[in-house]
Every structure is written in C-alpha cells, then in structure tokens.
Structure 1
Amino acid sequence: MSTHLYWRSLAALMLGLCLAVVAVVATAATPGRSVIDGGWAFRLMPGNAQLAAHPEALPWHAAKVPGTVHTDLLANKLIPDPYVGAPEAGLQWIGLADWEYRTRFEAPRRAKRSDLVFEGLDTFAEVWLNGEKLFEADNAFRTWRIPVQDKLRAKGNELRVVLRSPISRLLPAVRAMPRKLAGNYPSPYGDESADAMTANFARKPGYHYGWDWGPRYVSAGIWQPVVLESWDAVRIDNLQLRQDRVDQARADIAAVVLAEAVRDGAFDLRLWQVAPDGKRSLAALRRVELRAGDNRIELPVRIDRPQRWFPNGYGAQPLYRFELEIGDGKAVAARARARTGLRSVALRREADDKGRSFYFEVNGIPVFAKGANSIPFDMFQPRVGKAQLRRVLQSARDANMNFLRSWGGGYYESDDFFDLADELGLLVWQDFMFGGGMQPAYDDAFRANVIAEARDNVRRLRNHPSLVLWCGNNEEEIAWKYWGPGKAMTEADPEFAGKVWNGYVQLFGTDLRKVVAEEGGGISYWASSPSDDLAEVANTPASGDMHYWEVWGNPAYPPSKYLEITPRFMSEYGLQAWPVQRTIEAFASRGQQGIATPLIEAHQKFMAGKGNERLMKYVNFEFGDPKDFSSFVYLSQVAQAEGIELAALHHRASRPYTMGSLYWQLNDVWPGASWSSVDWFGRWKALHFHARRFYAPVAVAALRNAEGRTRVSLLNDRTHHVRGELRLRLMTLDGKLLRDERKPVELAPLSASQLANYSDAELLGNADPASTVAVFDLQSEGEPASRRVVYFMAAKDMRWPDPGLRSELRRDGGGARLALRATKFARAVWIDFGGTDAGIADNAMTLLPGEAVDLHIASSARLATLRTALRLRSLADELRVY
C-alpha cells in the first residue's frame, strides 16, 4: 500500500466500525513503554559506616518506586513517622548512609532500540544492568536515558541502583576548600559544620537539608518512574506547541517535533487538533525525510477565532489538545500528545520617572498578580498525589488568587501541578532550583550539569499556558550583595570572590537565559528573585521584584510598616502562625503542647531566632499576652491574617505602580508552625479566609497607618466599569451608631482609586477610640460585598464587650447550616468542630452588633455530633474576662 493510500484508508477506518482493530494495530507499532515499578527491594549498603548502629536496615526489604529511602524505611516499620513527635535528630543517620535498590524485569520484545529511562534519581547514583555498570548520575532534576538494546535478556533482567550519601560524598572536598561558599541553614546535628555545608554543591532539593519551615531529612531515592522504552522506527522525544501569535482573530502555532529515528527514511506526520468543545480535526499533514538520529520538524497551525485562555478572574480556561502521529507507510510508528491554552503573555518592563515597571500582560490585559509562594508539598515528593495538589491549588483559586511563585529550593513542579494550574487559571512563576547561598558556578562541569537540567525541565513544562516566567534563583544575588558573604569573601580573597561572582553571572545571567530563549517558547527569564535582572541595585522598590522581611525578620517592625513600602512587584513577604489545633494534635498530644515544650519547639523551624518568641512578639504587638497555648495558636492566626491583609491591600491600592502581591507562603511541607495559609492537611488558617476577601476582584481598602491616617481606596480588577455604593459607619462596640454615610461610586476597569485620606480626628470626632470602630462597606453590582474595619487602638487596649454569639445548627441536605448571630461587636470569630470533619463555608470573620450569617457546613457527621463538637471563639474571649 502506498503511504498516500495508507493514510486515506486509515482515516476511513477511523470513521467506521473497525476503529478498535486499527487502534490495536497502530499501538502495536508504536514505541513500547513499560514502567518498572514492581518487585523492588532496598537495603543499607553492606560495609557502610551506619551499619553498626542500624543492623536492622541491612536485610533486603520491600521498596516502592517511585519513592524515597525515608518512606521505604517507614513502610517497613524500621523508623518512626518522621512527622509525629520529635524524631528528627534520631533519623539523621539515613542521610549519611549509602543505599542499594534492586529489581528484576522482563523484556520479551526484541526491538531495534531500547532505552532505560530514569526520570529522577536522587542524587548520586550508580546504575547497573545485569552486572554491568550503565552510568553514574549526579543530578536529581535530570532525566537519564541509556540505550540498552544490546544488554537486555528476554527474561530475568536485574536492575540495581546504588545511592550514595550526598553529605558523605561531598563533605571532604568542601572541607578542603581554602575559601568556603556561603550555605543556607547549618545542620543542628553535627553532620556538617556551619562553614562547610554541602547542599550548594549537590543538585538535589535544597529543602532536604532543613529550612525555616521544615525539618532536615536528607533523603535519597528513585524518586521518579523508571521506564523501558523500545521501538523499531522512530521515537517522539518532545512535542512543543509554540505560540507565535495569539489574539482575538487568530492563533498561529508551530508544532515543533523532536524525533529520534532508527534509520533514514520517509515518514508521514499528522497532527490532530481537539478543540475545547471536543471537536477533532486534522491540523497539519506532511511527508518528511528523517535522518537516523535526532530530527527537528516544525508544523504550522492556524486557528481562527481561538478560544483564548485567561487567568482566574479574567475569563475562562479553555484547553486545546493535539495528537501527533508519525507513520512509516505501514502503521503509526509513534504518537505524542500535548495540551495547551492559547494566550499571549509578556513581562512588561517600562521606564518611567521612578524606575521601571514589572508586571505581566496576558491577552493584552495588565494583570495584577494576586497570590502566594508555593513550596514543596511534602518532605518526600513521591507521595504527593494529584488529590493533594488539587485541594491546595483549588484553595488558591477559591481565595481569588491568580498567581503562584514556585520557589527554587525544592523541585521543579510536577506535570500534575501544572495541569491543575492550567485548569484553574493560576499563573506560575517557576524558579530554577537554587534556593539560596552560593553555588560553584565557576566550575564548567557544574554549569554544564545545570544547563542539561534546565533544558530537561523547560522542555517538559513549556506547553503549559499557566507558566509565565522562569527565574534563575531565590535570593542569591541579594545574599551576595547585601547579606555579608560577598563582602567577606572579597576582603579575604578578592581573586576567588571575583571568580565566584563571574561564575554566578555566567550561569544566571547568560546560560540559563539562553536555555529559556532557545527552549521556552517566548516565556521571559528573570535572573534572581528579588532583583532588577542583574542591575547594580537589587531588591529596590523602584524597579524589578522585591522581598520584604523587615516585618517578621530583623528588625521585626510591626505590620503597620508594610504601609511604608511600595514596590513594583512584591514577590515575598510574610507573617508566621501555628496551624489549627486539630493539625497540631496530629503530632503532639494536649499534654505535650506548650509555647516552649520540646515537641512544639521541634515543629517550630524559624532558625534566625527562637520562633515562638518572635511569634509571641507579633501577638503582643496587637493583642498582649495569650492566656495559654490554645490562645497563642488562635492569636497567632489572627495576627498573621490581619497583618498580611494590611500589606496585600496596600499593594493593591498602589496600582498601577505596584502590580503584584505574593505572600509567603501558600502551603506546608509538614505539620508545624510556618508562614502558610493552608496547612499540610489542606486545612485553611484564618489567613486564607481573609485572602478570599482581600483578593476579591472588587474590594474596599481602608488602611490606617502608624500616624493615625486612614487611606480609603476602591479596587477593581475587572475589565469593565463597576457601579456600587460605599457606606461609612462609625459605631461603638455595643452597637450605637454615631455616623452613617452612603455614597454612590463608580470604579474604572483595572484600577485602584483613592477616595479619602482621613485623620483619626476626622473619623472619630469626640468618640472614644477604645470602644469605637469605623466600618467601610462596598456594595457593588454582581460582586460579593467587601468590608474593611478600622480600629483606632491596639486590640489589647480596647474595651471589648461580650459579643453574645448565638448559634443554631440545622440539617441541610447532605450537610448542615449554621446560623450565627452577634449581639455586640465580634472580631475574629473562629468556628471550630474539633476532631469532627466539617468544611465551613466561611470563617475568621467579623460580625457587627446585631449582624447574622448563615453558613453551609459540609459534613457527613450527625447533627447531634456537630452540635456537641461546635466551638465558637472571638477576640473578646482572649482579651476580656466577663
């Protein structure tokens, strides 16, 4: 059959009743992909120094691949749960040991080409097949592909992987350096000294070595799938959907095919397109001559009147699917699928009289970035499932976020993460995996390793419409310039300091920028965060992105200081809080809980000082001393929520000068104290409930500064005008109305407009500041109501009445309804059902005197159980004795 007739016949068959038969024939000719995930076993390497103290780890035990040493030890009951209690110190031996994994697999099909593909080895690994050493790996972030067609047996192939301790492997050379490179967080366990840390030299997740929100578990493992791929004609290595032009009228796409052919020959390429509504059509057809080895082909695709993809809050997220088929005249020899959303995206850096802007424009719309920083979702990445990712990313969307920064001290996020971001309309800023300190980028081999890593991951992720920026690293430029390491090294050894900095500029200024330019499909690159893309001054409000840690970090200013800092784009700022009581009880019993108890301290990882003492300082700023640990937990969440709200609304009110507000941080790596708004179990802290309100597309910002002036602004992220009414009420805490003003307002599209700037005297008049508040309410057409309450004194100095909270629970379909009413002013109301599973529609709210809310409770528990478990709390319970 000629190739032309083959394709005509295949197309006819696909429309007929023989579709299933054709699918079987075509699949048989395509490359075989066999995941090697069964029969794995592991052990501590014989002869290892850790063996004397841990002989129980020497025998072979069952292992899970993908997985890690820690999770395999836990599954075999050889170690306690690393998250429960305080076992961290006793588990450090795992990171100092060498480990061995093995399995057997079958390869019954003889093919002209067979590759073993290791999608992730953490980190220093030796791989053996049937007694022959295949290769050594030295980068957890790379994919390793090894031809094995001449090394396979039909049955009984033995695969063996030896994983060397990164600490033991690197420490001798690091200790021998005359001048040491600055690291991140010193080990508290004596395995590394503060002046000789190995993490910067290892291409593995930096957070494994400990961070100020997670433990030190220097793990190892086969952390991504192992696959045997076999084929006879051609293999598709990558299908890129490069978007050259996207506007309302049309989308011009280049389908860029990277294919590896076994032999020279003619092949037919067909590209099928599936529109968001499911309609399938032939997008491109071409006959090509492939050469043995690597080939690159571009197929142009034009889509008229495309359904464009928008960030959350600006439109829908329609997704197009494409399927590429390569035929060899007999059958479909290879297939590849890819999905994308059609949009234009640009990072805008426009000069003005203050400096240069920094904002993202999507489909011609300047987007104010509202969101948070994401960190790894677990200490042991292979156990992060899509359901866990969906729970947290859906929470981000539910809080009106449109932007996440995926931080550089973990791992490049998974396909599942980006698939969900695509579906939910969450723009993603992806750091390359450099979390801090300084790397040996002056070493050519180190840079080459990183370039290969970058190419792997940029190619893997580049079709995702959610991906809008690649960033070289987190905080390495400002650490060198402003935190002391650069100055100290320059004074001690200027020649080596110059070598270190020049290597940094080469890697982050040139090498990674080039990879993104070549492979990224038009996505922008940014050298570091915070930075001005290697300009002389970094972390400046005038230009580029900014991290601001003088609130919480040293000198630990009160949250009102946020109002004095107006950046172009705030990519990090944060306040810490403990998670909800139920999460704490997952690792500590009530008797083990206390502000300074050993177990609680073990889950407080702020390393720049004693974490709970710093957190207590922020509780004290506003609320005074808590009554007990439970009160401390509750007040920490209120302080976090109210402080971050102040900052985020200030950033939004400063539009268009400021065009982004990403607080630190969205999620947790384990259960403990941190800056997150969603804890490790997926439970919302008070901050996340507040975020849903302060990130609402249409909102009022009434912000009182330390000098007693309140700036009132109206915020509109919609692309259309919004009409509404702004109401100002001055009232006492027991409900007496002293002032009531209403004003019709119109909010311009994509704007922040200042309406007033009051002094305390102008708002209060002669009212008592200890018992009076100003309430600003914005009611607008088609939008949820927005409220901002202004307090004239610290909460600890106010006279709080008993709010007289009254509640009633009733059955409501598969859940329940909670009717809640306050007799007098109720600030920071927290609804809790203890250990009973119950999803609450809203929480962490303020009720005015006489105000009521009716909330849905998602729970399968009996109504009587919910009534017994229900606990209500407000600020008055903590600051007043009735």
Structure 2
Amino acid sequence: MRARRFLGLCLVLAAAGAASAMAATPDGFAIDKGWRFRLVPGNAQAASHPEAAPWHTAAVPGTVHTDLFANRVIPDPYVGAPEAGLQWIGLADWEYRTRFDAPRGALSAARSDLVLDGLDTFAEVWLNGVKLLDADNAFRTWRLPVQGRLRARGNDLRIVLHSPIAKLLPQVEAMPHKLLGNYPSPYGDEPKDAMTANFARKPGYHYGWDWGPRYVTAGIWKPVVLQSWDAVRIDDLQLRQDHVDAARADIAAIASLDAVRDGAAELRLWQTTPGGRRSLAARQRVALHAGANRIDLPVHVDRPQRWYPNGYGAQPLYRYELEVRAEHGKGAGKAAIARAGARTGLRSIELRRDPDDRGRSFYFAVNGIPVFAKGANTIPFDMFQPRVSKARLRRVLQSAADANMNFLRSWGGGYYESEDFFDLADELGLLVWQDFMFGGGMPPAYDEAFRANVVAEARDNVRRLRNHPSLALWCGNNEEEIAWKYWGAGKEMKAAAPSLADKVWKGYVQLFGADLRKVVAEEGGGIAYWASSPGDDLAEVANTPASGDMHYWEVWGNPAYPPSKYLEITPRFMSEYGLQAWPVQATIDAFARRAEQGIAAPVIEAHQKFLAGKGNERLMKYVDYEFGATQDFAGFVYLSQAAQAEGIELAALHHRASRPFTMGSLYWQLNDVWPGASWSSVDWFGRWKALHFHARRFYAPVALAALRDAGGKTTVSLLNDRTRPLRGELRLRLMSLDGQVLRDERRPVELAPLSSTRAGDYLDADLLGGADPARTVAVFELRAEGEPASRGVVYFRAAKEMAWPDPGLQAQLRRDDAGYALELHAARFARAVWIDVDGADADAGLSDNALTLLPNESVSLRLSSKAGLEALRGALRLRSLADMPSFTKTR
C-alpha cells in the first residue's frame, strides 16, 4: 500500500469523526464540527502560495499539514521528496474558524469553560469577536471562562496560529551570543546560526531530527471542549499510593473540586476490583467553599492484587469512581451532580541509588523486586500527532511486550504521551520513563517567564499522568547537560560571554534542579525525578559508567567504533545506544517506486536523515565492518538490518550479563515517526525489522549470552530474570558450516533468581583446536526447566571472511485450521535467514524471522495473511548471507 493511500485513509477516518454534531463527552461537549482554515490574509507567504488563501475544510483535532493535504493543496509529505518545497507552511500564519450552537443548559449554567488541551503553539483564541487568550505553549491546558459570552446559536470561535519561526526569530537574531540549538535547517527557512526551536514550547522534532523530516506544523492538536456546570466540577481525582505490600494497600484518593458556591456535599468513592466486584470504598460529608477544594479520602485494600512489570507477574487494574451528591438545596438526595473516574494498578516503585565502591547504583524496584530494565526509547509515532490512533499505539506497544520488553523511555523531543499510550502501558506491563519536553538545545531558562510557563506545563502533565502504574520516572531533559558540559557549547560561551554563560547555567540548574523537581515532589505521588539523561542528577560528572544513566554513541556516532566496542562499556543503566537500518522492502515501496530506489538515489537520500544526507555512507561502514560492501540496494537493506540486529544484540546481552552492576538496557529506538531509515526496530507501519525478532530472543527472561571480544575471548553467561532459581543444561558444540560436529559437551547448571551467572571463559584456541576458523562455529545452548531454549553462536571471523556454503534452504507452506504453517529446513549452516512474501501481503505476519539455522535443522513457523495459499507460495522468498555476492561460497 502506498503511503499516499495510507495517509488518505487516516484523513478519511478523521473527517468521519469530525462530521458528527458537537459531541457529548464525559468532560463536556467537543466542538468538532464545521471547522475551516486558511492562510491568514496579508501574510508574507500568501503571495507565493495563493492556493492556501481560500477557506478550506479542516479537522479538529488536526494540523495544518494534514489539512492542506486533505484538501489537495500539498502533496503527501511522506511520499517522494517534497520536504524542501513545504517549508513555507512553517513560516505562515493560519486561521481556524467554526460556528457552533450552545448545548442545552450551557446558557443558564452557573459556569462554562472553554477547554483547549492542545494549541500548537502561538495562538490567539477569539469567541464572538472577543479575544480570550494569547497561548504560547503546545503542552499546556488552557481553561477559559466563557459564561456570559455564549449565544444560543451561531457562536463564532476563531483561532489564529502564528508561525513560531517568524515570531521568535527577531528576538533570537538580536541576541549578541546565541544559545545553541539542535538541528539547523537545510532549507533556509531560518538562519543556521539563529535557531528558534529551543525558545518555543512545542515539539522539538517538528524542526527536524536525524530520523525524521522538518515539518514545523501548527494546529489544534487536541479536542476543543465546552464544559458547563451549576454546582461542582471535579477537576481531578488523584489516587496516591502511600503504601503497598502483599498484605495491604493504603491509598489517598484526593479529589480536587471546583465549587460554584458554598454548600454541603457527600462524596462517595466506588471501587471496582480487577475481577469486577464493585463496592463503596469511602464516603465522606464535606463543606465545600466556593472555588477550589481539596478533599482526601483514605482507602484501604486488604490483600491487594498487585501490578507487576511484564515478565514479573500480572497487571491487574482497579477502577475508582467518585460521585459528588448535594446535601442541601437543588439536587439534594438525588443522583450525583458530578462524577469522575480513574484507573490504577497497585504497586510500590522506587528508584534505588545505593552507594558502593565504584559509585552509585541506578535501578528500579517494583514491589521490592529489582527489575532489570529491558526495552527501548520511543519517539513520536507520527510527524502529525492527531493521526496517532490507539490501534497504532497498540500494535507497537504490543510488539514491545511481545519482545519481552518491560521498560520504555518516552523521549523529550516530542510531546508528553497520551492517555492511550499510558493505558496500554498499564495493561501490557511496560514501565515508562517520561522525559519533560526538552530534547536538545539549551533553553532560555534564565528567563523567569519562560520557567513559569514550563512549570505550568509540567503541573498539567504530571497531574494528567500520575495515576498510571506504568509511570516510573520523570526526567528533566534529554542530553542538555552533557551538551553544555562536553559538546563545546558551554566552553564556547564561557570564552565569548562569561557572564551570560553563568546566567544560562544558573537558569538551567534552577529549572531542572529545582523547579521541575518541586513539581514532581508536590504532584507526582511519589514517583522519582531525574534532572537529565544521561546524567547523575546534576553531579559534576555526567554520562559516566560509575553512576547514573548513560548514553553511548561512540558506536554509530563519532568516532564510529565497530560494535565490538560495546563490550568495553559497562554502565549502571544504558538509556541510549543504537545502530541504524532501513525498514523492510514493503515500507520502502510505500514512499519510493522501485525505479527510485538506490543507495544514493534522491528519494532514498530524502528519507535518510542522519549526517545531513550522509547517513547511508555511515550505514555502509557498519555493514562493511561485518559483511562487506554491496552496491545492490535490496542487499544493502537486508545487510543493514542484519548489522543492526547483531550489533544491538551484542550490546544488550553484555548489559544483561553485567547484572547487578548494570540494571538497564534501552536501545534507541522502538518506533518511527515516518517511513525511512532509522534506528527503530518497528517501522512506521508497525512492521518488525530483524532487530525486533532478535530482541524477543535477547530479552527473553531466561537467556544465554556468549560474547566474543575483539581479542578472541568468549565469555558465557546465564541470565535469569525470574524470581525463582532454575536448573538446566548448558551444551557446547563445535561444528563445521556443513554440519560436521567436532565437539559436543553438556553439563548441568543452576541459575540463581534475578541474576547473571558466569558459566565460563574460552579463548579461540580452546574452542577451535585445530579447526579452520573460517569454516567453523561454536554453538552454546541453554535449556532450563519451563523456558524456551536460548542459543548463542560464536563466529571466529567476520562474516565477510567466512566460507559460507549454500545452506540448501527449503520451505513448505500449507494451510491448516489455524491459518498457515511454514516448515523451514536448512541442509547446511544458514545465518541471518530472512523470510518474505514480497508482493502478496505487505502486512503478513510471521511468528519468527531473522533466524540462524544449524545444519539439518528444521523449524515450524506460523504465517498470518489475508492472501491465498497459491499467492503466498508464489511470493515466498528466502534469503541468507550465502546469497550475497560479496561472500566466498563453498558449493
């Protein structure tokens, strides 16, 4: 399916939702009908883009780019290479407008508020000709009183969105010494030495990143809702978990109420257990005062069903519903005058920083269990957030859970993740590290108004997300501390303008060391705060293996060491590391015709965002390290995935083998923002790369790590994330590539709970004897009771130096009662086997892929597809390393 058709489908679905009448929601009435938009008359962009000047239909929630595409004013932003020609959109001002009738009761209600959760970013809000707001933050909730301003019919709501570049550029250009930005624009829409992104409270990735395009969009990206009430509005229901253990959970249900007038009320809190039993958990009579009220309702749960991360137990969820009933006057003794609900899982969670002789630990304990964090970083799921459906989130997050992940880091250059994201994380047992929205570039935190704006944004989002049991950490920013300390920005400013440098750093410390820490302490319900990633919570030294969390980019980034360098870096918690790869062929076909595909082809380069168009050169370097160079594009795509999968597997297994010193491994990155080359393991369509199939194996709760370093020493470790001890068998076989077994040894092993156990060290000479290293492999296998077998293959030469035989791959596909069964057999050693049904079904699902098969080994796989048997058989393609023309083969 072409991306053009896919994007069009998303817009059709969005338009269908927007076509409904002003819809009632639990929180009020969504104003989602009749929206139109245009380029603001007189704007500098109007002369060169008159096609955007007339009124066009719009979707709210939505963005300017998706609205322009829906009206065929611009081409699909993802197909081909249109990016340079669309930069004018971010320089223009846009006007959105609708008319609506006031819902029944709104005119006579004591209070009515217009609630706007997502205005991106510099926005004027006008109602019936009166300006209500000048917004300046895409991440805040704006609540505007409108009682007395509403008409029965034909209310005119108008929102003008100003270009963040045009608005901020004059003040940035006027600065004699500029704050370092992140990615300069290659398109001339703003000067490279005067970047504006770090001055705007909007998603940083809109300005371009090394995995996505530059589309500085604007829009009303969350619903617009009218809320009306006569007596009480429940502003928030917090479920603060003060103590949770196996015997008892003590919860403070904290109700924040906005009362119209003084009066008596009764609060009833209902609890629904994970099994569906509903009971009254708390009841209290209160005297409300006009305005804000805070009432604590203590709740005690005996023998709670506790929530656990994926792999450690179940994810039971409790539902709480708050009712406010009037005690006197209108509504007394009748139905509730206000209701609100919240869901949570009962667990204890803490970030542990225990000192030792090498520094301090960094790990999370859930219900007292030290959890080794296995997972990845998430970036935004689309360039245009309103298009991110819960179904798309579910596909990717389910893929994370299916790959045995238990932890995701939501990166700070996008947006605070949605309730849908966190609801799914709660259900799947995925702990979430949530950055505040600072992804790169030093912010003007010395400005008090800027800091106050950020604090308000932080309160909104901490309050919104704090009931989720998956929320594990709030982090101030991504990489801003190390950028200042080690990447030259701080040093250069100290030399050029020492007083300004001191002011910038003090503002940074105030915002990330004090202001945001205070917000999390006051509002977060006990969740830990961390100042910056990577860091040591504002210690003098950051990004050190001894303490705190670490990002490691000397593999892939400069100086571009080979993946074996991963074995030399042993951190407390690795929160970023990564290798790039292209997505599967079907995804590439969605944005580039086959005739447009080539390693240096313009459309392919347009979807390769690393190093200003030189990403494929870097990627080829990593392909060449292990596999040798190729000029064939399909082969390049295949080898890029193999290099990514094997390199990240090496690092992740090293981290796991270093337990308990190392307690986390989060590779960069899980998902994609658009279809293109990136560090993801799941692409924009939700299709798995080879890395994700590998991740399911190297993140298995019980696994084997056989790690050979650059000096020819192999260390074997047995990994057990279970909370119980295990017994099993470790097997070592030395075999030739054509199947001759030269050595076969077995021994019983015991695995302690929550541990890594060193099982042996082997020099190449110990393993090989006199065997030819180019034709021989060592195969280690762990079989533990009740667990899938885990295998590690040790190669004694780079793949490009191996004498690969024709593996004699054979596949049989048949239909059965459950769908399709695929039987795969290798006569000889087959490395990096990739199975595809190119052309039959782009979204056909395989139960496993990216396989290594031993000589005479067979595997049984499941294939899910809507295509017919004969079509699938005709499209079935198998590939292994032996198929690459650069390798020497034995036949």
* TM-score, normalised via structure 2 length: 0.95
Residue of structure 1 equivalent to 2:808 = 804
Correspondences of 1:212-611 after superposition (within 5 Å): 212-329=210-327, 330=331, 331-607=335-611, 610-611=614-615
Question: Is the 8 Å Cα contact of residues 802 and 888 (structure 2) preserved in structure 1?
Answer: no
Superposition deviation, residue 815 in structure 1: 2.0
Provide runs of 4+ in structure 1 moved above 3 Å: 29-32
CA deviation map 1:94-121 (0-9, x unaligned): 0000000000111142200000000110
C-alpha distance in structure 1 between counterparts of 2:654 and 2:25, whole Å: 56
Question: Is the 8 Å Cα contact of residues 568 and 660 (structure 1) preserved in structure 2?
Answer: yes
C-alpha distance in structure 2 between counterparts of 1:220 and 1:343, whole Å: 39
C-alpha distance in structure 2 between counterparts of 1:851 and 1:627, whole Å: 32
Structure 1 window deviating more from structure 2 (30-39 vs 84-93): it is 30-39
Amino acid at match of 1:131: G
Amino acid at match of 2:32: D
2:41 to 38, 42, 46: 46
Distance 1:30 1:64, change over 3 A: closer
Residue 683 in 1 paired to residue 687 in 2? yes
C-alpha distance in structure 2 between counterparts of 1:390 and 1:142, whole Å: 25
1:839 to 835, 845, 850: 845
Residue of structure 2 equivalent to 1:12 = none
Residue of structure 1 equivalent to 2:32 = 37
Superposition deviation, residue 609 in structure 1: 6.7
C-alpha distance in structure 1 between counterparts of 2:613 and 2:84, whole Å: 19
C-alpha distance in structure 2 between counterparts of 1:609 and 1:589, whole Å: 20
Question: Is the 8 Å Cα contact of residues 599 and 631 (structure 2) preserved in structure 1?
Answer: no
Superposition deviation, residue 352 in structure 1: 0.1
CA deviation map 1:679-734 (0-9, x unaligned): 00000000000000000000000000000000000000000011111100000000
C-alpha distance in structure 2 between counterparts of 1:585 and 1:120, whole Å: 34
Query: How many residues are paired up?
Result: 854
Residue of structure 2 equivalent to 1:848 = 854
CA deviation map 1:53-95 (0-9, x unaligned): 1111111110000000000001111100000000000000000
- Provide the secondary structure at the position in 1 that maps to 2:501: helix
C-alpha distance in structure 2 between counterparts of 1:86 and 1:299, whole Å: 57
C-alpha distance in structure 1 between counterparts of 2:635 and 2:76, whole Å: 28
Question: Is the 8 Å Cα contact of residues 372 and 403 (structure 1) preserved in structure 2?
Answer: yes
Superposition deviation, residue 607 in structure 1: 2.4
Superposition deviation, residue 585 in structure 1: 0.5
- Provide the secondary structure at the position in 2 that maps to 1:800: strand
Structure 1 window deviating more from structure 2 (88-97 vs 185-194): it is 185-194
Residue of structure 2 equivalent to 1:15 = none
Superposition deviation, residue 657 in structure 1: 0.1
C-alpha distance in structure 1 between counterparts of 2:876 and 2:192, whole Å: 48
- Provide the secondary structure at the position in 2 that maps to 1:728: strand
Question: Is the 8 Å Cα contact of residues 606 and 613 (structure 2) preserved in structure 1?
Answer: no
C-alpha distance in structure 2 between counterparts of 1:57 and 1:672, whole Å: 28
C-alpha distance in structure 2 between counterparts of 1:31 and 1:69, whole Å: 28
Question: Is the 8 Å Cα contact of residues 30 and 333 (structure 1) preserved in structure 2?
Answer: no
Residue of structure 2 equivalent to 1:725 = 729
CA deviation map 1:264-303 (0-9, x unaligned): 0101000000000000000000000111001111000000
C-alpha distance in structure 2 between counterparts of 1:814 and 1:86, whole Å: 42
Question: Is the 8 Å Cα contact of residues 520 and 527 (structure 2) preserved in structure 1?
Answer: yes
Residue of structure 1 equivalent to 2:868 = 862
C-alpha distance in structure 1 between counterparts of 2:441 and 2:866, whole Å: 49
Residue of structure 2 equivalent to 1:622 = 626
2:209 to 208, 211, 225: 211
- Provide the secondary structure at the position in 1 that maps to 2:313: coil
Residue 84 in 1 paired to residue 90 in 2? no
Superposition deviation, residue 813 in structure 1: 2.3
2:120 to 115, 119, 122: 122
- Structure 2 unmatched ranges of 5 or more: 1-23
Residue of structure 1 equivalent to 2:15 = none
Residue 171 in 1 paired to residue 177 in 2? no
Identity %: 79
- Provide the secondary structure at the position in 2 that maps to 1:637: helix
C-alpha distance in structure 2 between counterparts of 1:440 and 1:742, whole Å: 62
CA deviation map 1:348-383 (0-9, x unaligned): 000000000000000000000000000000000000
- Provide the secondary structure at the position in 1 that maps to 2:804: coil
C-alpha distance in structure 1 between counterparts of 2:816 and 2:198, whole Å: 55
* TM-score, normalised via structure 1 length: 0.96
Question: Is the 8 Å Cα contact of residues 814 and 860 (structure 1) preserved in structure 2?
Answer: no
C-alpha distance in structure 1 between counterparts of 2:491 and 2:816, whole Å: 65
Superposition deviation, residue 335 in structure 1: 0.5
Question: Is the 8 Å Cα contact of residues 31 and 231 (structure 1) preserved in structure 2?
Answer: no
Name the Cα RMSD after superposition. 1.0
Question: Is the 8 Å Cα contact of residues 115 and 226 (structure 2) preserved in structure 1?
Answer: yes
Residue of structure 1 equivalent to 2:61 = 66
Structure 1 window deviating more from structure 2 (806-815 vs 183-192): it is 806-815
- Provide the secondary structure at the position in 1 that maps to 2:43: coil
CA deviation map 1:373-395 (0-9, x unaligned): 00000000000000000000000
1:198 to 196, 199, 212: 196
Amino acid at match of 2:97: R
1:102 to 85, 97, 102: 97
Residue 638 in 1 paired to residue 642 in 2? yes
Amino acid at match of 1:288: V
Residue of structure 1 equivalent to 2:744 = 740
CA deviation map 1:199-219 (0-9, x unaligned): 000000000000000000000
Superposition deviation, residue 836 in structure 1: 2.4
1:189 to 182, 187, 190: 187
